[in-house]
């Protein structure tokens, strides 16, 4: 039986290749994702390992919050420690060397006057530790910084922007921009650059002053004496430390840092894997369809095998083994391509502004395992139903004309399809209200499968309706194409189902994205009344200089400025983000719709304002007192002074800037809002000029700000579309495959049509008509389902700020047009093949 | 012809006179008014070591009888036996095994799996059963049928006659209790037909094989030991040691 299977596979190489492509692409995506994220994981782990390899211990403030940010240890908020600890530590026996470190915000300005951005990586300012054994920075050129005007720069930045030792460089800091002399260039561990971050290192006292931490350190790095008992030294250090300060090993710090990055990476890889699975899911439909057709075409052969003694089990196994071999080969090819794809994916992300560090490609055993299990699994599972159909072929089918069991199973299919679809909708609804993302995914999956099963019911009438105009335009060719698509509603529906899923996802994202985009605009309208919004050009940056607000307020025409801060704190024992602004200009710069209590007066009274969502979920009202905790100042309580309606810009927790500054150490503003005096005309130029010293700033009018919010949404959507495009491509390959198979199947019939006078052009038109009907059928169902899904998603996120639901009809209609054109494209090859058939041979063929 | 020394002589027939028989076999298609009786109560017996031809006009139920007796189709009522086995009592697995181990088939067309070579097609039943092929018997059959140089060819690379001979070899390779041949020469020219029928004849005479052949060709029927005539789903006559003329005569009588 093995022989039959393998020979069968080899006899249909083209069919094999087309079917395999769906799996190859999906597996490529999976293995590419794994290779890419493993590579990044390895790069970061190695990097942090190098940085901390020489440090024996680090003394630092304890993590401020118990239930910390998802970043874990590496990203924890810590209170700086007092300088005096250092001298005590130097007395501890076994401590060979100890030095304090501070870090903060320092952004270089390029010679052309623009701030040097990193595309997400930090712009780090550090204190330079001259001890080469301890420092993670190694001088590659020049000498260490020793005076308040000295700085050393990372080699990567220097090379990229052509800086040399001895030159001057302007640096953006918390305070005003300052000019420094480059005394040296450093490497970070073994790399000339820390994962794309820029580094500016100063001597310790300068760094302390620049980062607003005079008299304090972020941490103290320690070297143990050679041969000292490290556990003993650690113990001795711990005993000298005041409460709230801890000692950990260098290895611990390295692991924490790597964990933080890897946590972020795992979100990233999960997102990519979701798309990979979507592709494979669509691929599964294609495989199912192909195998169904193959089984149909091989009915006589399979029946003959049954006659000469193949058992049902042998037939079943032969179909599955065929699928397994196909899946295995495709998975292996996909695995190979995945490595290449990892490089491509990196480039794609770079195109969307996400820069990643480079490192040697990492190829884990897990990647191979996952790729093969998933690729093989999807293929075999998709082939189970066709295999079962093969088993039901009676032996006598080899001798008599046999026409499947269309009618008998269609009723059952409708019932099962309905049940699956209803269950899917229920899971979706439950998942959206909960919210539970896995349930949503599972529900969507079930809805697609259910609708895929129900689609044959409407295939005939829909194909008939869609084909009518084609029959009018292309006459007999269009009419025959229409008849062909109506002939087997089940096959029509199966072929179209892959495209249905692809377009449903695209439409979901479109509806969701349009709603998100519109909501972003209207939420800005409802949140901000300022005329100008000043923020960092780099959306991922931590903030900008404190002196910006002062500079802006001096610009003629600016009536009011409001500085916005943002910081983490614990609200009722859970980590939250608070926003702060000055109460004086509240009414001029933001729109705060109070539901209860007061706005500005409460902020001035150092009270907390919360939004209605939080008030409802936490059962809080004006006058409630809630426990809060700050990294800097510890635990206290705060009175709720007011409750405001959700505001997209301000978040859920709002305090006055006075209160904020007293609880956070040297915070950086995230935005400055400006409002102009009544009757003032456009002062964009004046504001821009007034803030020329801060090239890292972006000055936007409210309209521009709205647009940039929308642009952010659109950029994300662009990425999602690009990833979904793969699923659509797989669906189209499915259509090519089906048309190809159906051309082979109808060799005799096409030959007959040609013999009685059909022109080649007409044959092509016939096949193309069929393809257009197929694509439109799938696209229409997909768009309808997707619109419903997208609306449901958007509606479920009303509380989270999606206030407007938009159904972008022009885009959806465009999708239908594109689908029809793609269908036309998919038909090119099969149509040519059909037109080229040798008439005589086709008629003679049995 | 004589059996050569190296060929394994077939085992003598086991006792019991019949290879297969049918009792009151009825096969009805459709229901009520639209009902068509393909078989309307057939009683027939096929003896061991005998070559039986089944004849009758189109629609007489010849093929249906063969399908029901070979377990390819289920009769509406009545019983079909292969040896002592009532095949109505067998489930699908049992029927599969019966076909594989005890029955051989030769059809008018589509006898061979198109993707397999002639050799692979011939050994297919043994391969399916996971049994070893009796190599001497294989060589003997292939030699007798004259397809030794065609073994590595696929069906589409062989003539119709060669394909039928390969099918014949496949039917005989497992030494089945009974071979059903359904118009085996229907698609062949007269030369190939004669060779084919001659070989079937010899396999009965020399190896004691039992064969039931459905045909509508009186010359083909003349190769048989006995002809059973069917009309309208019933057995309407029988002829022993037929000649072509006798068969034709009998057919004419039935026709009128």
Of the candidate ranges A311-325, A330-344, A352-366, the one whose mean pLDDT is the lowest: A352-366
- Residue A579 CA to residue B96 CA, distance in Å, equals 77
Under 8 Å between Cβ of A520 and A804: no
Under 8 Å between Cβ of A283 and A21: no
Interface check for A310 against chain B (CB to CB < 8 A): the answer is yes
Kindly report whether the peptide bond that precedes residue A435 is cis, defined as omega within 30 degrees of 0: yes
Tell me, what CATH number does B93's domain have? 3.40.50.300
| DSSP β-bridge partners for residue A191 | A188
Bigger pLDDT: B223 vs A293: B223
Residue among A181, A171, A131, A194 at smallest CA distance from A151: A181
Interface check for B96 against chain A (CB to CB < 8 A): the answer is yes
Most confident of A403-412, A728-737, B3-12: A728-737
Burial class (CB in 10 A: 0-12, 13-18, 19+), B36: exposed
Residue span of the structural domain in which B189 resides:
49-74+87-255
Where exactly are the structural domains of chain A? 1-56+67-74+250-404, 57-66+75-249, 458-528+704-846, 546-693
Is B8 inside a domain boundary?
A: no
Interface check for B130 against chain A (CB to CB < 8 A): the answer is no
Interface check for B101 against chain A (CB to CB < 8 A): the answer is yes
Q: What pLDDT does residue A70 have?
A: 40
Does the pLDDT at position A69 exceed 50?
no
Residue-wise pLDDT for A233-262, tens only, equals: 888 888 888 888 888 888 888 888 788 777
Q: Rounded mean pLDDT of A476-497?
A: 82
Contact B96 A306 (CB under 8 A): yes
Question: pLDDT confidence of A541, banded at 50, 70, 90?
Answer: low
Question: pLDDT confidence of A813, banded at 50, 70, 90?
Answer: very high
Interface check for A225 against chain B (CB to CB < 8 A): the answer is no
Contact B110 A312 (CB under 8 A): no
- Say what angle helices B135-145 and B190-207 make with each other, to 10 degrees: 140
Terminal C-alpha separation, chain A = 25
- Residue A305 CA to residue A12 CA, distance in Å, equals 18
* Chain A residues within an 8 Å CB radius of B115: 4, 7-8, 10-11, 301
- Residue A834 CA to residue A817 CA, distance in Å, equals 25
Is B175 inside a domain boundary?
A: yes
Q: Rounded mean pLDDT of A730-740?
A: 82
Of A4, A395, A846, the CB nearest to B113: A4
As a whole number, the mean pLDDT across chain B is: 84
Q: What pLDDT does residue B7 have?
A: 42
Q: Rounded mean pLDDT of A85-100?
A: 84
Q: What pLDDT does residue A175 have?
A: 67
Q: What pLDDT does residue A843 have?
A: 65
Does the pLDDT at position B94 exceed 60?
yes
CB atoms closer than 10 angstroms to residue A832? 14
Residue-wise pLDDT for A678-702, tens only, equals: 766 778 888 888 888 787 788 888 8
Question: pLDDT confidence of A127, banded at 50, 70, 90?
Answer: confident
Q: What pLDDT does residue A190 have?
A: 62
Is B2 inside a domain boundary?
A: no
Residue among B98, B104, B26 at smallest CA distance from B65: B26
Question: pLDDT confidence of B214, banded at 50, 70, 90?
Answer: very high
DSSP state of A218: S
Does the pLDDT at position A755 exceed 80?
no
Q: What pLDDT does residue A193 have?
A: 61
* Chain A residues within an 8 Å CB radius of B124: 4, 305, 308-309
Q: What pLDDT does residue A137 have?
A: 79
Residue-wise pLDDT for A375-402, tens only, equals: 999 999 989 988 988 888 888 887 776 6
Q: Rounded mean pLDDT of B54-77?
A: 87
Is B148 inside a domain boundary?
A: yes
Question: pLDDT confidence of A196, banded at 50, 70, 90?
Answer: low
Under 8 Å between Cβ of A1 and A322: no
Interface check for A716 against chain B (CB to CB < 8 A): the answer is no
Of B63, B93, B115, the CB nearest to A4: B115
DSSP 3-state assignment of B153? coil
Q: pTM to 2 decimals?
A: 0.76
Of the candidate ranges A39-48, A89-98, A272-281, the one whose mean pLDDT is the lowest: A39-48
Tally of domains within chain B: 1
Of A7, A301, A308, the CB nearest to B125: A308
As a whole number, the mean pLDDT across chain A is: 82
Does the pLDDT at position A781 exceed 90?
yes
Q: What pLDDT does residue B1 have?
A: 40
Q: What pLDDT does residue A380 have?
A: 92
- Residue A572 CA to residue B210 CA, distance in Å, equals 92
Q: Which helix (H) or strand (E) holds A442?
A: helix A437-487
Does the pLDDT at position A783 exceed 90?
yes
Of the candidate ranges A60-74, A296-310, A516-530, the one whose mean pLDDT is the lowest: A60-74
Instruction: Go through chain B and tell me how many residues it has.
Output: 256
- Residue A354 CA to residue A498 CA, distance in Å, equals 31
Bigger pLDDT: A618 vs A175: A618
Question: pLDDT confidence of A282, banded at 50, 70, 90?
Answer: confident
Question: pLDDT confidence of B11, banded at 50, 70, 90?
Answer: very low
Does the pLDDT at position B213 exceed 90?
yes
What are phi and psi for residue B27, nearest 5 degrees? Answer: -135, 120
Min CA distance, A6 vs chain B (Å)? 9
Q: What pLDDT does residue A779 have?
A: 92
Q: What ipTM does the predicted assembly reach?
A: 0.80
Does the pLDDT at position B10 exceed 90?
no
Q: What pLDDT does residue A358 have?
A: 59
Min CA distance, A731 vs chain B (Å)? 29
Q: What pLDDT does residue B12 have?
A: 41
Contact B97 A314 (CB under 8 A): no
* Chain B residues within an 8 Å CB radius of A306: 96, 99
Question: pLDDT confidence of A588, banded at 50, 70, 90?
Answer: confident
| Residue B42, CA atoms < 13 Å, CB-side half-sphere | 36
- Residue B71 CA to residue B55 CA, distance in Å, equals 20
Q: What pLDDT does residue A341 have?
A: 80
Question: pLDDT confidence of A403, banded at 50, 70, 90?
Answer: low
* Chain B residues within an 8 Å CB radius of A311: 92-93, 96-97, 128
Q: What pLDDT does residue B9 have?
A: 42
Of B93, B112, B124, the CB nearest to A311: B93
- State percent of chain A over pLDDT 70: 91
């Amino acid at each position: 039986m093995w022989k039959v299977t393998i020979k069968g596979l080899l006899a249909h190489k083209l069919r094999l290749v087309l079917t395999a492509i769906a799996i190859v692409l999906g597996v490529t995506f999976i293995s590419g994702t794994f290779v890419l994220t493993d590579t990044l994981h390895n790069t970061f782990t190695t990097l942090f390992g190098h940085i901390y390899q020489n440090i024996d211990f680090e003394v630092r403030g304890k993590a401020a919050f118990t239930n910390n940010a998802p970043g874990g240890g590496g990203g924890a908020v810590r209170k700086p420690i007092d300088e005096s600890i250092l001298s005590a530590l130097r007395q501890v026996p076994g401590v060979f060397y100890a030095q304090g470190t501070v870090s903060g915000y320092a952004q270089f300005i390029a010679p052309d006057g623009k701030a040097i951005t990193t595309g997400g990586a930090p712009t780090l300012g550090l204190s330079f530790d001259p001890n080469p054994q301890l420092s993670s920075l190694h001088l590659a050129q020049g000498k260490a910084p020793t005076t308040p005007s000295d700085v050393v720069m990372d080699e990567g930045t220097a090379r990229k922007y052509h800086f040399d030792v001895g030159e001057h460089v302007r640096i953006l800091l918390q305070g005003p921009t300052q000019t420094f002399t480059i005394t040296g260039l450093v490497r970070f561990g073994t790399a000339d650059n820390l994962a794309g971050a820029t580094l500016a290192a100063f001597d310790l006292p300068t760094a302390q002053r620049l980062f607003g931490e005079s008299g304090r350190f972020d941490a103290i790095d320690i070297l143990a004496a050679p041969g000292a008992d490290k556990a003993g030294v650690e113990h001795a250090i711990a005993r000298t430390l005041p409460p709230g300060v801890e000692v950990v090993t260098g290895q611990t710090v390295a692991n924490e840092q790597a964990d933080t990055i890897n946590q972020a990476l795992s979100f990233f890889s999960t997102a990519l894997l979701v798309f990979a699975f979507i592709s494979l899911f669509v691929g599964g439909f294609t495989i199912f369809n192909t195998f169904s057709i193959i089984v149909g075409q091989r009915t006589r052969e399979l029946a003959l095998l049954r006659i000469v003694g193949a058992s049902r089990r042998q037939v079943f196994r032969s179909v599955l083994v065929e699928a397994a071999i196909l899946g295995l080969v495709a998975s292996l090819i996909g695995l190979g391509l995945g490595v290449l794809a990892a490089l491509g994916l990196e480039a794609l992300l770079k195109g969307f502004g996400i820069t990643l560090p480079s490192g040697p490609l990492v190829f884990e055993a897990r990647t191979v395992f996952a790729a093969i299990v998933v690729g093989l699994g999807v293929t075999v599972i998709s082939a189970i139903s066709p295999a079962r159909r093969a088993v039901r072929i009676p032996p006598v089918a080899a001798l008599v004309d046999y026409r499947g069991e269309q009618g008998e199973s269609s009723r059952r299919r409708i019932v099962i399809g309905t049940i699956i679809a209803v269950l899917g909708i229920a899971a979706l609804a439950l998942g959206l209200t909960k919210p539970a993302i896995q349930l949503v995914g599972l529900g969507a999956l079930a809805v697609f499968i259910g609708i895929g099963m129900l689609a044959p019911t409407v295939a005939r009438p829909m194909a008939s309706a869609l084909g009518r105009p084609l029959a009018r335009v292309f006459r007999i060719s269009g009419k025959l194409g229409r008849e062909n698509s109506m002939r087997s509603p089940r096959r029509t529906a199966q072929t179209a189902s892959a495209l249905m899923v692809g377009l449903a996802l695209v439409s979901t994202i479109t509806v969701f994205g349009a709603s998100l985009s519109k909501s972003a605009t209207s939420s800005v309208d409802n949140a901000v009344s300022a005329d100008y919004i000043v923020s960092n050009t780099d959306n991922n940056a931590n903030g900008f200089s404190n002196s910006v607000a002062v500079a802006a307020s001096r610009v003629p025409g600016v009536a009011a400025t409001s500085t916005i801060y943002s910081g983490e704190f614990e609200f009722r024992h859970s980590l939250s983000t608070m926003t702060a602004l000055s109460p004086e200009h509240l009414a001029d710069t933001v729109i705060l719709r109070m539901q209860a209590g007061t706005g500005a007066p409460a902020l001035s009274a150092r009270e907390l304002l919360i939004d209605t969502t939080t008030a409802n979920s936490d059962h809080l009202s004006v006058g409630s007192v809630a426990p809060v905790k700050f990294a800097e100042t510890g635990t206290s309580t705060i009175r709720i002074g007011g409750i405001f309606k959700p505001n997209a810009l301000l978040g859920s927790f709002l305090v006055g800037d006075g209160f904020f500054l007293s609880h956070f150490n040297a915070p950086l503003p995230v935005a400055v809002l400006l409002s102009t005096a009544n009757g003032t005309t456009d002062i964009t130029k004046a504001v821009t000029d007034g803030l020329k010293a801060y090239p890292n700033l972006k000055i936007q009018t409210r309209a521009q700000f709205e647009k940039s919010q929308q642009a952010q949404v659109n950029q994300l959507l662009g990425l999602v579309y690009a990833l979904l495009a793969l699923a659509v491509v797989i669906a189209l390959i499915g259509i090519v495959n089906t048309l190809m198979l159906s051309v082979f199947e109808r060799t005799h019939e096409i030959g007959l049509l040609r013999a009685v006078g059909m022109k080649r052009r007409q044959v092509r038109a016939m096949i193309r008509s069929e393809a257009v009907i197929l694509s439109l059928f799938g696209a229409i169902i997909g768009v309808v389902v997707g619109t419903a899904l997208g609306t449901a998603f958007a509606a479920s996120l009303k509380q989270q700020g999606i206030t407007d639901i938009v159904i972008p009809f022009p885009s959806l209609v465009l999708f239908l047009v594109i689908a029809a054109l793609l269908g036309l494209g998919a038909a090119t090859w099969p149509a040519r093949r059909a037109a080229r058939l040798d008439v005589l041979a086709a008629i003679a063929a049995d | 012809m004589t059996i050569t020394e190296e060929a394994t002589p077939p085992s003598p027939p086991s006792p019991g006179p019949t290879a297969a028989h049918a009792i009151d076999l009825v096969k009805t298609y459709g229901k009520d008014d639209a009902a068509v009786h393909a078989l309307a109560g057939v009683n027939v017996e096929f003896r061991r070591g005998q070559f039986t031809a089944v004849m009758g006009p189109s629609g007489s139920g010849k093929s249906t009888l063969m399908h029901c007796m070979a377990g390819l189709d289920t009769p509406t009522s009545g019983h079909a036996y292969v040896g002592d086995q009532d095949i109505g009592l067998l489930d699908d697995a049992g029927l599969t095994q019966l076909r594989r181990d005890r029955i051989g088939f030769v059809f008018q067309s589509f006898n061979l799996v198109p993707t397999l070579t002639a050799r692979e097609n011939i050994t297919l039943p043994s391969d399916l059963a996971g049994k070893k092929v009796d190599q001497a018997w294989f060589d003997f059959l292939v030699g007798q049928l004259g397809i030794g140089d065609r073994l590595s060819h696929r069906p589409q690379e062989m003539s119709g006659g060669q394909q039928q001979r390969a099918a014949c070899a496949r039917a005989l390779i497992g030494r089945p209790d009974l071979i059903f041949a359904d118009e085996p020469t229907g698609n062949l020219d007269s030369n190939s037909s004669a060779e084919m029928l001659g070989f079937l004849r010899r396999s009965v005479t020399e190896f004691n094989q039992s064969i039931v052949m459905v045909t509508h060709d009186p010359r083909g029927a003349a190769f048989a030991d006995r002809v059973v005539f069917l009309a309208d789903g019933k057995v309407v006559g029988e002829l022993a040691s037929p000649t072509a003329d006798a068969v034709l005569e009998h057919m004419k009588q039935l026709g009128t």
